[in-house]
């Protein structure tokens, strides 16, 4: 009786340890996969994919919680690259998440109309707007990813999207 | 035959016998000179004159437009007829903003204050002075010389390499310059040694023509300057490419994406050096250059000293006009030159050679056929690339693979095209693909920067929230204690 019991307990313990290792291992693989997916994303951080940024979208893709066609800024090239990385079927970007733009755009603040409310600065995911409370704001065009997140919060509607300077 | 430091290349017929038969002579003056403001690498120059102004030969007419840019001087006396877009050879005939000078043919010179003896200036002052002469690289890249010198000046143990190895077949302007103005080159070498605080200067020339070597040896001996040496290199195209010449002469390779300064070398074309000498010694800025007019499509093949802005049509007329066999006009050499749409284009600082090519001059190309993977192209590639592989990835537009296979190291010399039995225009394909790759690399770098800023912002917002929570908790604790 006792040897049998000890054997069973020992086997259970060994299996538990192995399972814990495997879990940690797969956790590491999953993180690596998230990194690889994130490297393919355009880093616009616009959230049009319905996630809070590029890395959260990458994590959702790795979990199988999102599809590969949810990134309009990346366009069809990104969708194709994601399909090839994840071994899924290639398909074009779903227009429900937004239109694929043909040329890069950046935000531009009409400085004459800006009232210095800092709402756009708080909304900018990549710190590309400079300014201070009650002072004029401006977009650093070279740092702007064109996410358009600064447009809705502006109370005086003084931000427009313009073609990126070349 | 193994040559230290260099791989690949081709032995080509130089086609310079006829253009070097006649001595150098000035081009006949023309009525109107067109000077594109963006004829140097970097930002376009900004005009200092307005239409109707009287200008003198050598007078500054445009100043550097900020960053990398260069001065521009009037190549003749006369009046500014217009400042307007005119067709330009470096834009393949597309118009670019240019100053048009109506030549009064009186050749009145601008009384520029003669600079002091160069030995009395500090290297820094001398470099700035060189910039004000409008001197840019005359080998074809037209990079502002003062910027190049300033960028290299901090390196220790600098060596100066003067490139007298004509890069391509047909071009003989440097050959002619070395025969006729060897003293200018040696004087310029001494100026540049001072400007860079360098101690050695090698003048590298090809071993196939004895006259330039003889003229330069005599000039060096006359100068009694033992810092300057002459070095003959094998005439193998593209030995005169900057990176190739550095490898041949010093046996070191310029790293990928690097500059000659990274291997303690400054490489300048001999024409540039002669221009420096004329500016520093005689206060004559760069307003003319030697141009080879050659090819079976022109009557008299020769080298001319041409004021910048002279129309190519006038130059051809000066050389007896076209022959009946003329079929295509090329600016540059036969390997890397650009076909021009017509001859109503001005000579610019980059115009080293004009080939009026007849079918005899042009390599006959058959229809393109599939790559048979013979490997001839990789055997001749002087940048030690695998053109057949690059061709593969170019067809697939695989930018990642093109980057790892070194597309950006391609110098577009055309050796691979030349030997390709399937007549694939490889160099052209590679040239066309480079902008896409550069765009991708920029986009990748921007994405990395955006990611870093996004991560930093996320971390900052987290930290602020934690700090606020901690402060609130502390306050709550204090309040509980009191009560």
**What ipTM did this prediction achieve?**
0.82
Contacts of B449 in chain A (CB under 8 A): 143
Residue-wise pLDDT for A132-159, tens only, equals 999 999 999 999 999 999 999 999 999 9
Task: Tell me which fold the domain A2-97 belongs to.
Answer: 3-methyladenine DNA Glycosylase II; Chain A, domain 3 (1.10.15)
Tokens of B16: 């310079």
Q: Is A162 helix (H, G, I), strand (E, B) or coil?
A: strand
- The verdict on a CB contact (< 8 Å) between B450 and A44 is yes
- The verdict on a CB contact (< 8 Å) between B450 and A43 is yes
* Percent of chain B scoring above 90 in pLDDT: 65
Q: Is B264:B325 a contact under the CB 8 Å cutoff?
A: no
Q: Is A126 on the interface with B (CB under 8 A)?
A: yes
Q: Is A38 on the interface with B (CB under 8 A)?
A: yes
Residue B405 to chain A, least CA–CA distance (Å): 20
Contacts of B453 in chain A (CB under 8 A): 126-128, 143
Q: Domains of chain B, with CATH numbers?
A: 25-29+110-289 (3.40.50.11540), 369-483 (1.10.1060.10)
Tokens of B311: 């129309």
Nearest to A45 among B443, B446, B454 (CB): B454
* Percent of chain B scoring above 70 in pLDDT: 98
* Average model confidence (pLDDT) across chain B: 90
Separation of alpha carbons B100 and B85, rounded Å? 10
Nearest to A125 among B447, B448, B454 (CB): B454
Find all residues with CB under 8 Å of B18, minimum gap 6, and list them.
B294, B301
Separation of alpha carbons A145 and A162, rounded Å? 12
Radius of gyration of chain A (CA): 23
Tokens of B166: 């004509």
What local confidence, expressed as pLDDT, does residue B308 receive? 95
Q: Is B457 on the interface with A (CB under 8 A)?
A: yes
What local confidence, expressed as pLDDT, does residue B5 receive? 53
- The verdict on a CB contact (< 8 Å) between A126 and B453 is yes
What local confidence, expressed as pLDDT, does residue B2 receive? 40
Find all residues with CB under 8 Å of B144, minimum gap 6, and list them.
B40, B41, B42, B64, B68, B69, B70, B131, B135, B136, B137
Q: What is the phi/psi pair of residue A120, to 5°?
A: -70, -35
Q: Exposure of B247 by Cβ count < 10 A (0-12 exposed, 13-18 middle, 19+ buried)?
A: buried
Q: Is A75 on the interface with B (CB under 8 A)?
A: no
Separation of alpha carbons B260 and B439, rounded Å? 24
Three-state SS string across chain B, please? CCCCCCCCCECCCCCCCCCCCCCCEECCCCCEEEEECCCCCCCCCEECCCCCCEECECCEEEECCCCCCCCEECCCCEEEEEEEEEECHHHCCCEEEEEEEEECCCCCECCCCCCCCHHHCCHHHHHHHHHHCCCECCCCCCCEHHHHHHHHCCCCCCEEEEEECCCCCCCCHHHHHHHHCHHHHHHHHHHHHHHHCCCEEEEEEECCCHHHHHHHHHHHHHHCCCCEEEEEECCCECCCCHHHHHHHHHCCCCCCCCCHHHHCEEEEEHHHHHHHHHHHHHCCCCCEEEEEEECCCECCCEEEEEECCCEHHHHHHHCCCECCCCCEEEECCCCCCEEECCCCCECCCCCCEEEEECCCCCCCCCCCCCCCCCCHHHHHCCCCCCHHHHHHHHHHCCHHHHHHCCHHHCCCCCHHHHHCCCCCCHHHHHHHHHHHHHHHHHHHHHHHHHHHHHHHHHHHHHHHHHHHHHHHHHHHHHHHHHC
State the DSSP H helix or E strand holding residue A87, giving kind and residue range, or none if neither: none
Tokens of B67: 């960053």
Q: What is the phi/psi pair of residue A4, to 5°?
A: -60, -45
B137-146, B163-172, B383-392: least confident range: B163-172
**Residue B216: pLDDT band by 50, 70, 90 thresholds?**
very high
Residue-wise pLDDT for B248-303, tens only, equals 899 888 888 888 888 899 999 999 999 999 999 988 999 999 999 999 999 999 99
Q: What is the mean pLDDT of residues B109-138?
A: 87
- The verdict on a CB contact (< 8 Å) between B447 and A125 is no
Find all residues with CB under 8 Å of B53, minimum gap 6, and list them.
B79, B80
A52-61, B11-20, B434-443: least confident range: B11-20
Residue A1 to chain B, least CA–CA distance (Å): 56
Residue B390 to chain A, least CA–CA distance (Å): 21
CA closest to B452 among chain A residues = A126
What local confidence, expressed as pLDDT, does residue B112 receive? 67
Q: Is A125 on the interface with B (CB under 8 A)?
A: yes
Q: What is the mean pLDDT of residues B216-240?
A: 90
* Average model confidence (pLDDT) across chain A: 91
- Residue B288's alpha-carbon distances to B182, B230, B263, B341, B379, in angstroms, are 17, 26, 32, 23, 40
Separation of alpha carbons B283 and A58, rounded Å? 64
CA closest to A123 among chain B residues = B457
Nearest to B447 among A43, A55, A127 (CB): A43
Q: What is the mean pLDDT of residues B211-238?
A: 91
Q: Beta strands of A35-151 (E only): which ranges?
A: 105-109, 129-130, 138-139
Contacts of A41 in chain B (CB under 8 A): 447
* Percent of chain A scoring above 90 in pLDDT: 69
Separation of alpha carbons A37 and A62, rounded Å? 8
Contacts of A126 in chain B (CB under 8 A): 450, 453-454, 457
Residue B209 to chain A, least CA–CA distance (Å): 46
Q: Is B205:B230 a contact under the CB 8 Å cutoff?
A: yes
CA closest to B447 among chain A residues = A43
- The verdict on a CB contact (< 8 Å) between B451 and A38 is yes
- The verdict on a CB contact (< 8 Å) between B454 and A42 is no
Bridge partners (DSSP) of residue B343 are none
Separation of alpha carbons B73 and B223, rounded Å? 30
- The verdict on a CB contact (< 8 Å) between B454 and A54 is yes
pLDDT > 90? residue B215? yes
Find all residues with CB under 8 Å of B440, minimum gap 6, and list them.
B399, B403
Q: What is the mean pLDDT of residues B394-401?
A: 90
- The verdict on a CB contact (< 8 Å) between A53 and B454 is yes
Q: Is A44 on the interface with B (CB under 8 A)?
A: yes
Tokens of A47: 């959230």
Residue B134 has a CB neighbour count (10 Å cut-off) of: 28
Tokens of B447: 């994405």
What local confidence, expressed as pLDDT, does residue B207 receive? 87
- The verdict on a CB contact (< 8 Å) between A126 and B450 is yes
Choose which CATH entry (3.30.70.20, 3.40.50.300, 3.20.20.140, 3.10.20.600) describes domain A103-166: 3.30.70.20
CA closest to B397 among chain A residues = A77
For an interface test with B, the pick among A36, A39, A40, A43 (most B C-beta atoms closer than 10 Å) comes out as: A43
- Residue that has been written with the tokens 């079927």 in this structure: A89
Q: Is B456 on the interface with A (CB under 8 A)?
A: yes
**Residue A104: pLDDT band by 50, 70, 90 thresholds?**
confident
Q: What is the phi/psi pair of residue B61, to 5°?
A: -115, -10
Residue A159 to chain B, least CA–CA distance (Å): 20
Q: Among A75, A68, A39, which residue's Cα sits nearest to residue A54?
A: A39
Residue-wise pLDDT for B399-422, tens only, equals 889 999 999 999 889 899 889 999
Answer whether 0.90 is exceeded by the pTM: no
Residue B92 to chain A, least CA–CA distance (Å): 21
Q: What is the phi/psi pair of residue A138, to 5°?
A: -150, 155
Residue B41 has a CB neighbour count (10 Å cut-off) of: 18
Separation of alpha carbons B68 and B145, rounded Å? 10
**Residue B219: pLDDT band by 50, 70, 90 thresholds?**
very high
Region for residue B140 given its phi and psi (left: phi exceeds 0; alpha: psi -120 to 50; beta: otherwise): left
Q: Is B345:B308 a contact under the CB 8 Å cutoff?
A: no
Separation of alpha carbons B241 and B165, rounded Å? 8
Q: Is B453 on the interface with A (CB under 8 A)?
A: yes
Bridge partners (DSSP) of residue B144 are B136
What local confidence, expressed as pLDDT, does residue B6 receive? 63
Residue-wise pLDDT for A4-29, tens only, equals 999 999 999 999 998 888 877 788 88
Q: Is B53:B27 a contact under the CB 8 Å cutoff?
A: no
B25-39, B163-177, B306-320: least confident range: B163-177
User: Which residues of chain A are in CATH 1.10.15.40 domains?
Assistant: 2-97
* Percent of chain A scoring above 70 in pLDDT: 99
CA closest to B451 among chain A residues = A43
CA closest to A121 among chain B residues = B457
Q: Among B181, B183, B220, B165, which residue's Cα sits nearest to residue B16?
A: B165
Contacts of B443 in chain A (CB under 8 A): 42
User: Which residues of chain A are in CATH 3.30.70.20 domains?
Assistant: 103-166
- Residue that has been written with the tokens 């912002």 in this structure: B457
């Amino acid at each position: 009786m006792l040897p049998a019991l000890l054997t069973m307990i020992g086997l259970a313990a060994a299996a538990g340890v192995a399972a814990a290792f495997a879990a940690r291992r797969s956790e590491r693989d999953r993180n690596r996969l998230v990194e690889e997916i994130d490297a393919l994303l355009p880093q616009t951080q616009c959230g049009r994919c319905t996630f809070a940024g590029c890395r959260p979208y990458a994590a959702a893709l790795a979990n199988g919680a999102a599809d590969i066609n949810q990134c309009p800024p990346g366009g069809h090239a990104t969708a194709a690259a994601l399909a090839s990385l994840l071994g899924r079927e290639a398909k074009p970007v779903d227009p429900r998440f937004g239109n694929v733009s043909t040329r890069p755009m950046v935000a531009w603040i009409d400085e004459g109309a800006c009232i210095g409310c800092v709402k756009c600065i708080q909304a900018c995911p990549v710190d590309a707007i400079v300014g201070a409370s009650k002072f004029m704001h401006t977009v650093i065009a070279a740092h702007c990813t064109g996410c358009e997140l600064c447009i809705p919060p502006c109370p005086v509607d003084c931000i427009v999207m313009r073609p990126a300077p070349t | 035959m193994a040559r230290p430091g260099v791989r690949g290349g081709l032995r080509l017929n130089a086609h310079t016998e006829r253009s070097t038969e006649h001595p150098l002579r000035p081009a006949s003056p023309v009525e109107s000179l067109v000077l594109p403001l963006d004829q140097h690498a970097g930002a376009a120059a900004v005009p200092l004159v307005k239409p109707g102004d009287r200008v003198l030969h050598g007078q500054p007419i445009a100043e550097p437009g900020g960053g990398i840019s260069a001065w521009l001087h009037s190549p003749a006396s006369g009046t500014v007829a217009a400042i307007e877009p005119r067709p330009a050879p470096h834009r393949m005939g597309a118009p670019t903003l240019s100053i048009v000078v109506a030549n009064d043919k009186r050749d009145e010179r601008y009384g520029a204050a003669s600079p002091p003896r160069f030995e009395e200036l500090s290297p820094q002052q001398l470099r700035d002075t060189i910039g004000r002469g409008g001197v840019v690289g005359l080998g074809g890249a037209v990079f502002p010389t003062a910027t190049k010198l300033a960028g290299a000046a901090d390196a220790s143990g600098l060596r100066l390499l003067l490139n007298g190895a004509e890069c391509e077949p047909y071009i003989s302007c440097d050959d002619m310059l070395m025969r006729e103005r060897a003293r200018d080159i040696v004087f310029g070498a001494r100026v540049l040694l001072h400007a860079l605080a360098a101690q050695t200067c090698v003048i590298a020339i090809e071993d196939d023509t004895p006259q330039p070597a003889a003229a330069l040896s005599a000039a060096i001996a006359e100068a009694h300057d033992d810092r300057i040496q002459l070095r003959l290199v094998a005439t193998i195209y593209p030995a005169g490419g900057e990176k190739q010449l550095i490898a041949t002469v010093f046996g070191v390779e310029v790293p990928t994406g690097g500059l000659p300064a990274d291997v303690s070398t400054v490489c300048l074309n001999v024409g540039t050096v002669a221009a420096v000498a004329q500016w520093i010694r005689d206060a004559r800025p760069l307003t003319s250059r030697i141009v080879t007019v050659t090819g079976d499509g022109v009557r008299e093949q020769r080298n001319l000293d041409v004021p910048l802005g002279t129309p190519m049509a006038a130059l051809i007329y000066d050389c007896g006009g076209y022959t009946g066999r003329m079929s295509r006009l090329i600016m540059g050499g036969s390997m890397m030159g650009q076909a021009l749409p017509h001859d109503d284009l001005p000579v610019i600082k980059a115009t080293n050679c004009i080939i009026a090519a007849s079918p005899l001059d042009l390599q006959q190309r058959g229809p393109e056929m599939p790559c048979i993977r013979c490997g001839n192209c990789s055997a001749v590639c002087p940048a030690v690339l695998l053109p057949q592989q690059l061709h593969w990835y170019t067809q697939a537009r695989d930018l990642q693979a093109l980057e790892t296979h070194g597309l950006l190291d391609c110098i577009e010399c055309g050796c691979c095209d030349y030997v390709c039995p399937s007549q694939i225009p490889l160099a052209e394909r590679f040239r066309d693909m480079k902008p896409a790759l550069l765009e991708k690399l920029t986009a990748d770098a921007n994405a990395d920067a955006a990611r870093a800023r996004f991560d930093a912002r996320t971390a900052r917002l987290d930290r602020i929230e934690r700090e606020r929570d901690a402060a609130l908790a502390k306050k709550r604790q204090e309040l509980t204690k009191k009560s």
